[in-house]
Every structure is written in structure tokens, then in C-alpha cells.
Amino acid sequence: MSFYFIALIKILVVIAVLLLALLYLQWVERKVIAHIQVRPGPYRVGPHGLLQPLADTIKLLTKEDLLPPGANRFLYMLAPFLAITLSLISIAVIPFGPIIEVAGTITYMQITDISIGVLFILAISSLTVYGIVLAGWSSNSKYPLLGGLRASAQMVSYELPMGMAVASVLLLSNSLSLREIVDTQSNYYWGFFPAWNVFREPFPQLISFIIFLVAIFAETNRIPFDLPEAETELVAGFHTEYSSMKFAGFFMAEYANMITASAMATTLFLGGWLPLWPEKFGSSYVPPAVFLAASALAFWGALGRARRQDRRTLPIAGAVFFLLAVMFLVHVVNFIVVPLFWFAAKTALILFTFMWVRGTLPRFRYDQLMGFTWKFLFPVAVVNLMITGLLVGLIG
């Protein structure tokens, strides 16, 4: 009984955090891109636009839900449902932290640890293309159809180099369970340098990390590979005909896919929840230091030339950051939140890269996109896999 109870609690916590992260990831992205383009971004709804996601949700909920004439009703309804469901499933096997003991029960910080976790995520991500393709086909409109066609070709093509990049990591870690993959990265070279798969001997997986990053950009349809929804050519691509919450469903699916893909990259290449340097050199004091610095910055901002409303909100933010910093020092929750901090920090770094690239690079042409994966990325991934296999066979 307690197994089901614990599983239920873990599922509720993970889903709540994931949905909140989805909402605010969009706010963070708008802010980051705004600052790259030297403008303030959302600013009006709540302090620094913090309530903007809620306002957007209300706006989308109250929009009219349209069904284009001649559309296939069943598939038109099914497509956003498929997209959002499949993008939320794969978070179930991502490990967020080590094995912990709370009130006498020992449990994983992960919804479930299955022996084929890597294959499970690859399988689910290979199904996500159906949501997009069906949306494009069932709308009975030319732009969505073109978007759907592009999506199916692009996602099938980029799965190959992604699979090859993951395979070379599997050669190093000798397991398909995501938890064991993280556990094999827990050593430190010379006592302080992390033995994550990016730096791992006998062959550092830096090349496969970059290939994996490029492939997940294409798999999640992000700039510079967002050809299925290229505004300048296809109006809005596969979701042109969708409105209201169905449109929001595609939007959420894209962000959920980004979060899962970043978490996967963290787990496979960046050592998951493991700290940057060993605990005996004080790595567990990094999170409180970071939050104390943020708190000090907020208080300093409130004292300086702040606007009238910022004089009220910035001290509140400072107090929240201070409480978070204290939380990292309390022994009761310490062992849970410190691994979570490292995991979230690495995932956030990759998510920031997504936004950074979106604010920096223009879109590829479609033939360049396909040529890039088949003529460059795939051969490089194969050579990388062969070198890794050879070195693991000779040395490892």
C-alpha cells in the first residue's frame, strides 16, 4: 500500500513542479530574449511581469475554439491531446536525485527507475511527431500540411544522430537505466575534476554532447530548426488553424519537450544531480551562497534608485531568496534540496542555451537543415561512436 502512496505523492509533486516550470519557462524566455534585444520584455502584469503567464492562460481560455471546415474532427481533436500527453510522459524516468530516506521509508528521487530508461525516452520522443503531423494533416489547410510534412521528415532524420550520440554514452556507462548512468559518473579525477560523461576517459563525449544538443533543438522544433512553424513561409505552420486551449496545448508540449530534453542531456552528459566538485571541498555550500547573493542583490536594488513599486516588491523577493538560502543549510531537508539544486542548475543552463540560440541565430533553409544532418551530423556521430567503441574495447 505504501508503495502506491509514495508513488502517488511523487507523481503529484513532479507534475505540479513541471507544470509550474512550463508556465514560467515561457516568462523567462520572453525576458531573456527581450534583454538580448535590449528591451524590457513583459513588465505590466504584476512585478516585472511575473503574473503574465496567468494572464496569458486566462486569455487563451476565453478565446473562441474554432473547427476549420472540412477538417477531420476526431484527428483534429486528438492531435493536441497526443502532443501534450506524450511530452509529459517521459519525465517519469528522469532521476532528480539520489536514494533518500524520509521518515523511515527509502525511496528514489524519481517517479520510477526502469531498466530500459534511455530506450523508453527514445521511444516516447519518437512518437511525439504524431501530434504535429496529425495536426498538420487534419486541419484541411495547405500551410499546416506543409508544416506537418516538414516535421515528419525533420524529426525522423534527427533521431539518427541523436541515437548515435546516446549510444556512445551507453558504451561508457554500460547500462540503460538513467539512475545507473548517473551513478557511473560519480568519480572525480585528481580528487576534484568531475568524471561526467562529457569529460570521461577513455574518450570524452564532448562531440556527442554537442550532437545531442543540436539534435534536441531539431526534435523540439526550436529556432534555428523551427521549419515546421516558420512564420515567414507557413503563417504558423502545423498549428495555424488551432485556437484557444488546443493552441495552448501545442505550446505547452513544446516547452515540456524542451524541459525533458534538457533533463535528459543533464542526466546523460553532465552527471545529473552530482555536484561540480566533491562535497569535502564544500560544494554543498554553493546553493546557499548563490541564494544569499541573490538576496543581497535584491535588497541592494531596493535601496538604490528603484521605482516606487519595486521598493515594495524587491525586499519581498530578497526575503524569499534568504529563506531559500537558509533552507539549504538546514539538516532536515539539506540532503534532498542540494542534489535538486545541482540538477536544476544544469538543466536551467541548457534551457538558457535554447533561449540564447533563439535570440541569436536566424532560421536554416530546409535543404540546409536536411543536408546538415545527413551529410555532416550523422557521419560525425558514427565516427565518434566507432572511436568510443574502440577505446572502450582497448582500455576500458
Which residues contribute to the site for another protein (CB under 8 A)? 72, 75, 114-116, 119-120, 122-123, 126-127, 129-130, 133-134, 136-138, 145, 148-149, 152-153, 155-156, 159, 176
CB of 155 to another protein, least distance (A): 8
Find out whether 229 and 220 touch, Cβ atoms under 8 Å.
Answer: no
Nearer to another protein by Cβ, of 159 and 241: the residue is 159
Burial of 168 (0-12, 13-18, 19+ CB in 10 A): buried
276 φ, ψ (degrees, to nearest 5):
-65, -35
**Minimum gap (Å) between residue 148 Cβ and another protein:** 7
User: Closest CB to another protein among 176 and 391?
Assistant: 176
Q: Measured from the CB of residue 99, what is the shortest distance to another protein in angstroms?
A: 22
Output the smallest distance, CB 216 to another protein, in A.
Answer: 16
As measured in angstroms, the least distance from the Cβ of 10 to another protein is: 21
Positions of E strands within the chain: 97-102, 105-109, 188-189, 193-194
Q: Using N-to-C axis directions, what is the helix angle for 378-394 and 206-219, rounded to 10°?
A: 140
Q: Least separation, in Å, of the C-beta of 141 and another protein?
A: 13
Q: What angle do the packed helices 331-360 and 308-329 form, to 10 degrees?
A: 130
Contact indicator for 153, 108 with CB cutoff of 8 Å: no
Residue 131 CB, nearest approach to another protein (Å): 12
Of 228, 213, 263, 211, residue with least CA distance to 87: 263
Question: Least CB distance from residue 223 to another protein, whole Å?
Answer: 23
Q: Which is nearer to another protein, 127 or 361 (CB)?
A: 127
Residues 98, 319: Cα–Cα separation, whole Å: 29
Which residue, 72 or 184, has its beta carbon nearer to another protein?
Answer: 72
Instruction: Give the torsion through C-alpha atoms of 105, 108, 110, 112, to 10 deg.
Output: -90
C-beta separation of 359 from 28 below 8 A: no
Pairing of strands 105-109, 97-102: antiparallel
Rounded CA-CA distance 83/75 in Å is: 12
Nearest to 286 by CA among 355, 352, 354, 346: 346
Percent helix, percent strand, percent coil in the chain, to nearest 5: 70, 5, 25
CB of 153 to another protein, least distance (A): 7
Residue number, 133 or 268, with CB nearest to another protein: 133
Q: Between residues 105 and 115, which has the closer beta carbon with respect to another protein?
A: 115
Crossing angle of helices 331-360 and 244-269, rounded to 10°: 110
